[in-house]
Amino acid sequence: MTLPSSGAIPAHQFHPSILRAYDIRGIVGETLTAADARAIGCAFGTIVRRDGGRSVAVGRDGRLSSPELEAALVEGLTAAGCSVTRIGCGPTPMLYYACAEFPTDGGVMVTGSHNPPTHNGFKMVKSGKPFYGDAITGLGEIASAGAWGEGAGAGAVEERDLRDAYTERLLRDHGRDIRPLTVVWDAGNGATGDIMSRLAERIPGRQVLLNAEIDGTFPAHHPDPTLPETLEQLRAAVAEEGADMGIAFDGDGDRIGVIDGRGEILWGDQLLMLLAEEVLARHPGAPIIADVKASKTLFDHVAALGGEPVMWRTGHSLIKTKMRETGAPLAGEMSGHIFFADGWYGFDDGLYAAVRLLDLVGRAWPEGTTLAERHAALPRLHATPEIRIDCPEERKFDTVRAVTEAVTVDPQAQVSTVDGVRVTTPDGWWLLRASNTQAALVARCEGEDKAALGRLVAGLARTLDGQGLSLPEDIRRLVAEG
Protein backbone atom coordinates (compact mmCIF):
# COMPACT_ATOMS: atom_id res chain seq x y z
CA MET A 1 0.00 0.00 0.00
CA THR A 2 1.36 3.41 -0.93
CA LEU A 3 0.93 5.78 1.97
CA PRO A 4 0.36 9.48 1.41
CA SER A 5 2.40 12.18 3.09
CA SER A 6 0.53 14.42 5.48
CA GLY A 7 0.77 17.18 2.94
CA ALA A 8 -1.28 15.06 0.52
CA ILE A 9 -4.25 14.99 2.90
CA PRO A 10 -6.44 18.08 2.48
CA ALA A 11 -7.97 20.03 5.32
CA HIS A 12 -11.01 18.19 6.62
CA GLN A 13 -14.28 19.23 8.24
CA PHE A 14 -15.97 16.66 10.50
CA HIS A 15 -19.72 16.38 10.85
CA PRO A 16 -20.46 18.50 13.95
CA SER A 17 -22.13 15.60 15.76
CA ILE A 18 -19.21 13.15 15.87
CA LEU A 19 -16.65 14.90 18.11
CA ARG A 20 -17.97 13.89 21.53
CA ALA A 21 -16.82 14.50 25.08
CA TYR A 22 -15.14 11.11 25.59
CA ASP A 23 -14.54 9.83 22.08
CA ILE A 24 -15.52 10.20 18.41
CA ARG A 25 -18.57 8.37 17.10
CA GLY A 26 -21.05 8.55 14.26
CA ILE A 27 -23.23 6.69 11.76
CA VAL A 28 -21.15 5.03 9.06
CA GLY A 29 -21.81 6.44 5.60
CA GLU A 30 -23.83 9.33 7.02
CA THR A 31 -21.84 11.24 9.62
CA LEU A 32 -18.69 9.06 9.65
CA THR A 33 -16.60 7.94 6.65
CA ALA A 34 -13.17 6.57 5.79
CA ALA A 35 -12.10 10.12 4.96
CA ASP A 36 -12.94 11.08 8.54
CA ALA A 37 -10.88 8.16 9.82
CA ARG A 38 -7.90 9.21 7.72
CA ALA A 39 -8.14 12.80 8.99
CA ILE A 40 -8.49 11.57 12.59
CA GLY A 41 -5.33 9.50 12.17
CA CYS A 42 -3.38 12.38 10.66
CA ALA A 43 -4.54 14.87 13.31
CA PHE A 44 -3.93 12.49 16.22
CA GLY A 45 -0.55 11.54 14.75
CA THR A 46 0.32 15.22 14.40
CA ILE A 47 -0.43 15.73 18.11
CA VAL A 48 1.63 12.69 19.10
CA ARG A 49 4.58 13.87 16.99
CA ARG A 50 4.27 17.47 18.20
CA ASP A 51 4.67 16.24 21.79
CA GLY A 52 7.77 14.21 21.00
CA GLY A 53 6.16 10.81 20.45
CA ARG A 54 6.01 8.48 17.51
CA SER A 55 4.54 5.04 18.34
CA VAL A 56 0.79 4.38 18.21
CA ALA A 57 -1.08 1.12 18.78
CA VAL A 58 -4.29 0.54 16.82
CA GLY A 59 -7.06 -1.98 17.41
CA ARG A 60 -10.56 -2.56 16.06
CA ASP A 61 -13.80 -4.23 17.09
CA GLY A 62 -15.82 -6.71 15.04
CA ARG A 63 -18.16 -4.32 13.25
CA LEU A 64 -18.44 -4.71 9.51
CA SER A 65 -17.18 -1.17 8.94
CA SER A 66 -14.20 -1.44 11.30
CA PRO A 67 -11.61 -2.91 8.87
CA GLU A 68 -12.09 -0.07 6.37
CA LEU A 69 -12.03 2.61 9.05
CA GLU A 70 -8.98 1.06 10.71
CA ALA A 71 -7.07 0.96 7.41
CA ALA A 72 -7.85 4.62 6.73
CA LEU A 73 -6.89 5.55 10.29
CA VAL A 74 -3.51 3.85 9.85
CA GLU A 75 -2.97 5.74 6.60
CA GLY A 76 -3.47 9.01 8.43
CA LEU A 77 -1.23 8.06 11.34
CA THR A 78 1.64 6.98 9.13
CA ALA A 79 1.24 10.03 6.92
CA ALA A 80 1.84 12.10 10.07
CA GLY A 81 5.06 10.17 10.65
CA CYS A 82 3.88 7.76 13.36
CA SER A 83 4.97 4.14 13.62
CA VAL A 84 1.87 1.97 14.01
CA THR A 85 1.42 -1.38 15.73
CA ARG A 86 -1.80 -3.03 14.58
CA ILE A 87 -3.14 -5.45 17.18
CA GLY A 88 -6.14 -6.57 15.13
CA CYS A 89 -9.67 -7.41 16.24
CA GLY A 90 -10.39 -7.58 19.95
CA PRO A 91 -11.91 -5.73 22.89
CA THR A 92 -11.08 -2.11 23.65
CA PRO A 93 -9.34 -3.09 26.92
CA MET A 94 -6.82 -5.12 24.91
CA LEU A 95 -5.83 -1.87 23.18
CA TYR A 96 -5.53 -0.19 26.59
CA TYR A 97 -3.43 -3.14 27.74
CA ALA A 98 -1.12 -2.74 24.74
CA CYS A 99 -0.60 0.93 25.59
CA ALA A 100 0.14 0.15 29.25
CA GLU A 101 2.19 -3.03 29.05
CA PHE A 102 4.20 -2.24 25.92
CA PRO A 103 4.40 1.51 26.40
CA THR A 104 3.38 3.47 23.36
CA ASP A 105 2.98 7.18 22.84
CA GLY A 106 -0.65 6.76 21.85
CA GLY A 107 -3.40 4.32 21.05
CA VAL A 108 -6.59 4.39 18.97
CA MET A 109 -9.41 1.86 19.06
CA VAL A 110 -11.89 1.71 16.20
CA THR A 111 -15.15 0.78 17.92
CA GLY A 112 -18.83 1.56 18.04
CA SER A 113 -18.95 0.29 21.63
CA HIS A 114 -22.55 -0.61 22.60
CA ASN A 115 -24.20 1.30 19.77
CA PRO A 116 -26.19 -0.22 16.87
CA PRO A 117 -24.36 -2.01 14.01
CA THR A 118 -24.56 1.03 11.73
CA HIS A 119 -22.52 3.12 14.18
CA ASN A 120 -18.78 3.24 14.72
CA GLY A 121 -16.16 5.48 16.27
CA PHE A 122 -12.77 5.94 17.92
CA LYS A 123 -11.48 5.84 21.50
CA MET A 124 -8.03 7.29 22.09
CA VAL A 125 -5.21 7.18 24.62
CA LYS A 126 -2.16 9.45 24.67
CA SER A 127 0.86 9.09 26.96
CA GLY A 128 -1.03 6.52 29.00
CA LYS A 129 -3.92 8.88 29.73
CA PRO A 130 -7.42 9.27 28.25
CA PHE A 131 -7.62 11.61 25.26
CA TYR A 132 -10.92 13.48 25.60
CA GLY A 133 -12.71 16.80 26.01
CA ASP A 134 -10.62 19.76 24.87
CA ALA A 135 -8.07 17.38 23.33
CA ILE A 136 -10.72 16.05 20.93
CA THR A 137 -11.79 19.61 20.16
CA GLY A 138 -8.16 20.41 19.36
CA LEU A 139 -7.96 17.40 17.05
CA GLY A 140 -10.92 18.78 15.11
CA GLU A 141 -9.27 22.18 14.84
CA ILE A 142 -6.08 20.65 13.41
CA ALA A 143 -8.09 18.77 10.79
CA SER A 144 -10.23 21.75 9.78
CA ALA A 145 -7.11 23.89 9.34
CA GLY A 146 -5.14 21.13 7.62
CA ALA A 147 -2.38 21.90 10.13
CA TRP A 148 -0.73 18.51 9.83
CA GLY A 149 2.82 17.85 10.94
CA GLU A 150 5.25 18.15 8.03
CA GLY A 151 8.58 16.60 7.12
CA ALA A 152 8.18 13.45 9.18
CA GLY A 153 8.07 10.94 6.35
CA ALA A 154 5.81 7.91 6.28
CA GLY A 155 5.88 5.85 9.45
CA ALA A 156 6.35 2.08 9.63
CA VAL A 157 3.54 -0.42 10.22
CA GLU A 158 3.79 -3.76 12.04
CA GLU A 159 1.25 -6.31 13.22
CA ARG A 160 1.31 -7.86 16.68
CA ASP A 161 -0.98 -10.57 18.04
CA LEU A 162 -1.56 -9.87 21.74
CA ARG A 163 -4.40 -12.28 22.39
CA ASP A 164 -2.35 -14.87 24.29
CA ALA A 165 -0.38 -12.26 26.25
CA TYR A 166 -3.55 -10.37 27.20
CA THR A 167 -5.34 -13.56 28.25
CA GLU A 168 -2.35 -14.61 30.35
CA ARG A 169 -2.27 -11.20 32.04
CA LEU A 170 -5.98 -11.37 32.85
CA LEU A 171 -5.38 -14.64 34.69
CA ARG A 172 -1.96 -13.93 36.19
CA ASP A 173 -3.15 -12.91 39.65
CA HIS A 174 -6.73 -14.16 39.79
CA GLY A 175 -9.12 -16.79 38.48
CA ARG A 176 -6.88 -19.87 38.51
CA ASP A 177 -7.19 -21.40 41.99
CA ILE A 178 -10.89 -20.99 42.64
CA ARG A 179 -13.49 -23.57 43.51
CA PRO A 180 -15.32 -24.86 40.44
CA LEU A 181 -18.33 -22.77 39.44
CA THR A 182 -20.84 -23.07 36.63
CA VAL A 183 -20.80 -19.84 34.66
CA VAL A 184 -22.65 -18.79 31.51
CA TRP A 185 -20.78 -16.25 29.40
CA ASP A 186 -22.37 -14.08 26.70
CA ALA A 187 -20.13 -12.07 24.37
CA GLY A 188 -23.18 -10.87 22.42
CA ASN A 189 -21.20 -11.49 19.19
CA GLY A 190 -19.03 -8.55 20.23
CA ALA A 191 -15.27 -8.09 20.22
CA THR A 192 -14.72 -10.03 23.46
CA GLY A 193 -15.71 -13.36 21.89
CA ASP A 194 -12.24 -14.76 21.19
CA ILE A 195 -10.65 -13.69 24.50
CA MET A 196 -13.73 -14.82 26.42
CA SER A 197 -13.36 -18.27 24.89
CA ARG A 198 -9.65 -18.39 25.76
CA LEU A 199 -10.39 -17.40 29.35
CA ALA A 200 -13.13 -19.98 29.73
CA GLU A 201 -10.78 -22.78 28.71
CA ARG A 202 -8.52 -21.99 31.65
CA ILE A 203 -10.97 -21.28 34.47
CA PRO A 204 -11.99 -24.12 36.83
CA GLY A 205 -15.57 -25.39 36.68
CA ARG A 206 -18.10 -25.62 33.89
CA GLN A 207 -18.15 -22.73 31.44
CA VAL A 208 -21.06 -22.31 29.00
CA LEU A 209 -20.45 -19.90 26.11
CA LEU A 210 -23.11 -17.92 24.26
CA ASN A 211 -22.64 -15.84 21.10
CA ALA A 212 -18.85 -16.18 21.16
CA GLU A 213 -18.50 -15.75 17.40
CA ILE A 214 -17.57 -12.17 16.57
CA ASP A 215 -20.24 -10.88 14.19
CA GLY A 216 -20.68 -7.18 13.57
CA THR A 217 -24.35 -7.57 12.73
CA PHE A 218 -25.03 -8.70 16.34
CA PRO A 219 -27.57 -11.36 15.34
CA ALA A 220 -28.39 -12.55 18.88
CA HIS A 221 -29.23 -9.23 20.53
CA HIS A 222 -28.11 -5.63 20.89
CA PRO A 223 -24.67 -5.48 22.58
CA ASP A 224 -25.59 -3.44 25.67
CA PRO A 225 -25.84 -5.34 28.99
CA THR A 226 -27.38 -2.37 30.79
CA LEU A 227 -30.65 -3.05 28.93
CA PRO A 228 -32.58 -5.85 30.68
CA GLU A 229 -33.97 -7.16 27.38
CA THR A 230 -30.45 -7.92 26.13
CA LEU A 231 -29.92 -10.25 29.11
CA GLU A 232 -32.96 -12.47 28.52
CA GLN A 233 -30.98 -15.14 26.64
CA LEU A 234 -28.36 -15.15 29.39
CA ARG A 235 -31.02 -15.37 32.12
CA ALA A 236 -32.66 -18.34 30.41
CA ALA A 237 -29.33 -20.13 30.03
CA VAL A 238 -28.45 -19.55 33.69
CA ALA A 239 -31.73 -21.17 34.69
CA GLU A 240 -31.36 -24.06 32.23
CA GLU A 241 -27.77 -24.81 33.28
CA GLY A 242 -28.37 -24.32 37.00
CA ALA A 243 -25.46 -21.87 36.84
CA ASP A 244 -23.96 -19.89 39.68
CA MET A 245 -24.01 -16.74 37.56
CA GLY A 246 -24.11 -15.29 34.06
CA ILE A 247 -21.71 -12.70 32.68
CA ALA A 248 -22.29 -10.49 29.64
CA PHE A 249 -20.23 -7.88 27.81
CA ASP A 250 -20.99 -4.92 25.61
CA GLY A 251 -19.86 -4.61 22.00
CA ASP A 252 -16.25 -3.66 22.77
CA GLY A 253 -15.81 -5.35 26.14
CA ASP A 254 -15.18 -2.41 28.46
CA ARG A 255 -18.50 -2.97 30.29
CA ILE A 256 -19.88 -5.95 32.17
CA GLY A 257 -23.39 -7.19 32.95
CA VAL A 258 -24.04 -9.82 35.63
CA ILE A 259 -26.95 -12.18 36.39
CA ASP A 260 -26.97 -14.12 39.66
CA GLY A 261 -28.03 -17.76 40.01
CA ARG A 262 -31.64 -16.72 40.64
CA GLY A 263 -31.79 -14.72 37.42
CA GLU A 264 -31.59 -11.31 39.06
CA ILE A 265 -29.52 -8.52 37.50
CA LEU A 266 -26.68 -6.99 39.51
CA TRP A 267 -26.51 -3.35 38.49
CA GLY A 268 -23.19 -1.55 38.32
CA ASP A 269 -23.43 -0.02 41.78
CA GLN A 270 -24.40 -3.35 43.36
CA LEU A 271 -21.45 -5.08 41.73
CA LEU A 272 -19.19 -2.31 42.97
CA MET A 273 -20.47 -2.78 46.53
CA LEU A 274 -19.33 -6.41 46.51
CA LEU A 275 -16.00 -5.75 44.82
CA ALA A 276 -15.24 -2.86 47.21
CA GLU A 277 -15.29 -5.19 50.22
CA GLU A 278 -12.26 -7.14 49.03
CA VAL A 279 -10.41 -4.07 47.72
CA LEU A 280 -10.88 -2.08 50.94
CA ALA A 281 -9.65 -5.04 52.98
CA ARG A 282 -6.34 -4.60 51.15
CA HIS A 283 -6.44 -0.79 50.99
CA PRO A 284 -8.02 0.42 54.26
CA GLY A 285 -9.47 3.91 54.05
CA ALA A 286 -8.95 4.19 50.29
CA PRO A 287 -11.24 6.28 48.09
CA ILE A 288 -13.76 4.36 45.99
CA ILE A 289 -15.27 6.32 43.10
CA ALA A 290 -18.75 5.94 41.60
CA ASP A 291 -20.65 8.13 39.16
CA VAL A 292 -23.53 10.39 40.10
CA LYS A 293 -26.13 7.85 38.97
CA ALA A 294 -25.11 5.34 41.66
CA SER A 295 -27.32 4.48 44.62
CA LYS A 296 -26.95 6.13 48.01
CA THR A 297 -26.57 2.60 49.37
CA LEU A 298 -23.22 2.25 47.58
CA PHE A 299 -21.75 5.40 49.08
CA ASP A 300 -23.07 4.42 52.53
CA HIS A 301 -21.64 0.90 52.13
CA VAL A 302 -18.18 2.20 51.21
CA ALA A 303 -18.22 4.52 54.23
CA ALA A 304 -19.31 1.66 56.52
CA LEU A 305 -16.37 -0.41 55.25
CA GLY A 306 -14.01 2.41 56.24
CA GLY A 307 -13.45 3.64 52.71
CA GLU A 308 -13.86 7.15 51.35
CA PRO A 309 -16.85 7.32 48.99
CA VAL A 310 -16.30 9.72 46.09
CA MET A 311 -19.17 10.77 43.82
CA TRP A 312 -17.92 11.84 40.40
CA ARG A 313 -18.98 12.69 36.87
CA THR A 314 -20.24 10.02 34.48
CA GLY A 315 -17.86 9.07 31.67
CA HIS A 316 -15.04 6.56 31.41
CA SER A 317 -12.39 9.18 30.63
CA LEU A 318 -13.48 11.37 33.54
CA ILE A 319 -13.50 8.47 35.99
CA LYS A 320 -10.03 7.31 34.94
CA THR A 321 -8.68 10.82 35.35
CA LYS A 322 -10.22 11.11 38.82
CA MET A 323 -8.69 7.77 39.82
CA ARG A 324 -5.26 9.12 38.96
CA GLU A 325 -5.88 12.28 40.98
CA THR A 326 -7.13 10.47 44.10
CA GLY A 327 -5.17 7.21 43.95
CA ALA A 328 -8.42 5.25 44.12
CA PRO A 329 -7.91 1.49 43.71
CA LEU A 330 -11.44 0.89 42.40
CA ALA A 331 -14.17 2.83 40.60
CA GLY A 332 -17.35 2.07 38.71
CA GLU A 333 -20.37 3.38 36.88
CA MET A 334 -23.99 2.31 36.73
CA SER A 335 -23.38 1.52 33.05
CA GLY A 336 -21.14 -1.42 33.97
CA HIS A 337 -17.73 0.20 33.49
CA ILE A 338 -15.59 -1.20 36.33
CA PHE A 339 -12.12 0.26 36.81
CA PHE A 340 -9.45 -1.57 38.83
CA ALA A 341 -6.15 0.05 39.79
CA ASP A 342 -5.76 -2.64 42.46
CA GLY A 343 -3.74 -5.28 40.60
CA TRP A 344 -4.62 -3.79 37.21
CA TYR A 345 -3.91 -0.68 35.16
CA GLY A 346 -6.76 1.64 36.15
CA PHE A 347 -8.79 1.24 32.97
CA ASP A 348 -12.27 -0.21 32.48
CA ASP A 349 -12.15 -3.87 31.46
CA GLY A 350 -15.23 -6.10 31.53
CA LEU A 351 -13.15 -9.27 31.21
CA TYR A 352 -10.91 -8.38 34.15
CA ALA A 353 -13.94 -7.40 36.23
CA ALA A 354 -15.38 -10.85 35.44
CA VAL A 355 -12.19 -12.58 36.59
CA ARG A 356 -12.20 -10.58 39.84
CA LEU A 357 -15.85 -11.45 40.44
CA LEU A 358 -15.15 -15.16 39.92
CA ASP A 359 -12.23 -14.89 42.31
CA LEU A 360 -14.46 -13.22 44.89
CA VAL A 361 -17.17 -15.88 44.72
CA GLY A 362 -14.85 -18.85 44.22
CA ARG A 363 -12.09 -18.02 46.69
CA ALA A 364 -12.62 -14.95 48.89
CA TRP A 365 -16.06 -15.89 50.18
CA PRO A 366 -16.65 -18.92 52.44
CA GLU A 367 -17.32 -22.03 50.40
CA GLY A 368 -21.01 -22.47 49.73
CA THR A 369 -21.75 -18.74 49.71
CA THR A 370 -23.50 -17.89 46.45
CA LEU A 371 -23.62 -14.68 44.49
CA ALA A 372 -27.41 -14.78 44.68
CA GLU A 373 -27.31 -14.90 48.50
CA ARG A 374 -24.92 -11.98 48.77
CA HIS A 375 -26.89 -10.03 46.17
CA ALA A 376 -30.16 -10.55 48.05
CA ALA A 377 -28.57 -9.37 51.29
CA LEU A 378 -27.41 -6.03 49.87
CA PRO A 379 -29.29 -2.96 51.17
CA ARG A 380 -31.83 -1.67 48.66
CA LEU A 381 -33.86 1.45 48.13
CA HIS A 382 -36.60 2.03 45.55
CA ALA A 383 -35.21 3.46 42.32
CA THR A 384 -36.15 4.11 38.73
CA PRO A 385 -34.03 2.75 35.90
CA GLU A 386 -31.95 5.30 34.00
CA ILE A 387 -34.43 7.61 32.27
CA ARG A 388 -33.60 9.15 28.89
CA ILE A 389 -35.51 12.26 27.86
CA ASP A 390 -35.15 13.48 24.27
CA CYS A 391 -33.78 16.99 24.20
CA PRO A 392 -32.24 18.92 21.27
CA GLU A 393 -28.45 19.01 21.36
CA GLU A 394 -28.41 22.79 21.48
CA ARG A 395 -30.80 22.90 24.47
CA LYS A 396 -29.69 20.13 26.77
CA PHE A 397 -26.96 21.93 28.76
CA ASP A 398 -29.01 25.13 29.04
CA THR A 399 -31.94 23.07 30.34
CA VAL A 400 -29.83 21.53 33.10
CA ARG A 401 -28.52 24.97 34.06
CA ALA A 402 -32.06 26.34 34.26
CA VAL A 403 -33.19 23.41 36.42
CA THR A 404 -30.18 23.87 38.70
CA GLU A 405 -31.03 27.53 39.24
CA ALA A 406 -34.64 26.62 40.02
CA VAL A 407 -33.90 23.94 42.64
CA THR A 408 -31.23 25.84 44.56
CA VAL A 409 -33.92 28.07 46.09
CA ASP A 410 -35.51 25.09 47.92
CA PRO A 411 -34.24 25.19 51.54
CA GLN A 412 -35.03 21.48 52.05
CA ALA A 413 -32.91 20.36 49.10
CA GLN A 414 -29.21 19.51 49.13
CA VAL A 415 -27.89 20.20 45.65
CA SER A 416 -24.80 18.65 44.06
CA THR A 417 -23.57 19.97 40.72
CA VAL A 418 -20.70 17.50 40.26
CA ASP A 419 -22.36 16.35 37.02
CA GLY A 420 -25.65 17.99 36.09
CA VAL A 421 -27.76 18.41 39.20
CA ARG A 422 -28.39 15.80 41.90
CA VAL A 423 -31.02 16.92 44.42
CA THR A 424 -31.32 15.21 47.82
CA THR A 425 -34.52 15.69 49.85
CA PRO A 426 -36.02 13.89 52.86
CA ASP A 427 -37.61 11.44 50.39
CA GLY A 428 -34.34 10.49 48.64
CA TRP A 429 -32.71 12.00 45.56
CA TRP A 430 -33.17 12.71 41.88
CA LEU A 431 -30.62 13.44 39.17
CA LEU A 432 -30.79 15.32 35.88
CA ARG A 433 -27.76 15.61 33.61
CA ALA A 434 -27.05 16.20 29.94
CA SER A 435 -25.95 13.13 28.04
CA ASN A 436 -22.50 13.56 26.52
CA THR A 437 -23.23 10.99 23.80
CA GLN A 438 -26.83 11.65 22.72
CA ALA A 439 -29.32 14.47 22.19
CA ALA A 440 -30.93 13.64 25.51
CA LEU A 441 -31.13 14.35 29.21
CA VAL A 442 -30.50 11.53 31.67
CA ALA A 443 -32.46 11.27 34.91
CA ARG A 444 -32.74 8.87 37.83
CA CYS A 445 -34.67 8.90 41.10
CA GLU A 446 -34.20 6.87 44.29
CA GLY A 447 -36.53 6.97 47.29
CA GLU A 448 -36.57 5.52 50.77
CA ASP A 449 -39.79 3.66 49.92
CA LYS A 450 -42.23 3.36 47.03
CA ALA A 451 -44.33 6.34 48.10
CA ALA A 452 -41.22 8.51 48.45
CA LEU A 453 -40.06 7.43 45.00
CA GLY A 454 -43.43 8.41 43.57
CA ARG A 455 -43.13 11.88 45.07
CA LEU A 456 -39.62 12.29 43.69
CA VAL A 457 -40.70 11.25 40.19
CA ALA A 458 -43.69 13.59 40.39
CA GLY A 459 -41.40 16.45 41.42
CA LEU A 460 -39.02 15.73 38.58
CA ALA A 461 -41.94 15.58 36.14
CA ARG A 462 -43.12 19.04 37.27
CA THR A 463 -39.59 20.41 36.92
CA LEU A 464 -39.32 19.08 33.37
CA ASP A 465 -42.79 20.33 32.48
CA GLY A 466 -41.52 23.80 33.37
CA GLN A 467 -38.84 23.36 30.69
CA GLY A 468 -41.28 22.11 28.04
CA LEU A 469 -40.09 18.49 28.39
CA SER A 470 -41.85 15.34 29.54
CA LEU A 471 -40.93 12.15 31.33
CA PRO A 472 -41.55 8.96 29.32
CA GLU A 473 -45.01 7.49 29.83
CA ASP A 474 -43.78 4.33 31.56
CA ILE A 475 -42.05 6.44 34.22
CA ARG A 476 -45.15 8.57 34.66
CA ARG A 477 -47.08 5.37 35.35
CA LEU A 478 -44.70 4.77 38.23
CA VAL A 479 -46.09 7.94 39.83
CA ALA A 480 -49.65 6.68 39.53
CA GLU A 481 -48.73 3.27 40.95
CA GLY A 482 -46.84 4.92 43.83
The residues assigned a catalytic role are 113
The most distant pair of C-alpha atoms in the chain lies apart, rounded to whole Å, by 68
Report d(CA 343, CA 81) in Å as an integer.
35
Report d(CA 350, CA 348) in Å as an integer.
7
Q: Which of 237, 49, 232, 239 is nearest to 153 (CA)?
A: 49
Contacts of 121 (CB under 8 A, 6+ apart): 18, 20, 23, 24, 25, 26, 32, 110, 111, 112, 113, 115
Across the strands, what pairs with 32? Answer: 28
